[in-house]
Amino acid sequence: MKYIFYIFFVSFWVSCTPAEEAPQKGDVELAQVFNKKLYLSQLVGMIPDEVSKEDSIKIIHAEVERWTRETLLMHEAEKNIPQDLNIDGLVMDYRMSLIRHNYEQFLVETQLDSVISEQELNNYYEKNKEQYQLQSSILRCLLIKVPKDAPNLEELKNWWPGSKPENFQKMKNYATQYATFYILGDSAWYSIDELRVQLPKGVNFNPDQNLIQTDNQFQYFFKVLEKKSQKEIAPLAYIQEQAKKVILHKRKMVLLDKRKEQLYERETSKRNVKIFTN
C-alpha to C-alpha distances, 158 to 51, 140, 147, 162, 233, nearest whole angstrom: 63, 22, 17, 9, 36
- How many CA atoms lie within 13 Å of 186's alpha carbon, on the beta-carbon side? 9
The domain spans of the chain are 2-102, 112-127+236-267, 134-228
CATH 3.30.450 fits 134-228, yes or no: no
pLDDT of residue 14: 47
pLDDT tens string 91-148: 899 999 999 999 999 999 999 999 999 999 999 999 999 999 999 999 999 999 999 9
What is residue 23's predicted lDDT score, i.e. its pLDDT? 65
From residue 234, alpha-carbon distances to 8, 99, 135, 183, 231 in Å are 40, 39, 9, 20, 8
Q: H or E stretch including 8?
A: helix 2-16
pLDDT of amino acid 21: 60
Per-residue model confidence (pLDDT) at position 18: 62
Positions of the chain with pLDDT lower than 50, given as ranges: 1-7, 9-10, 12-15
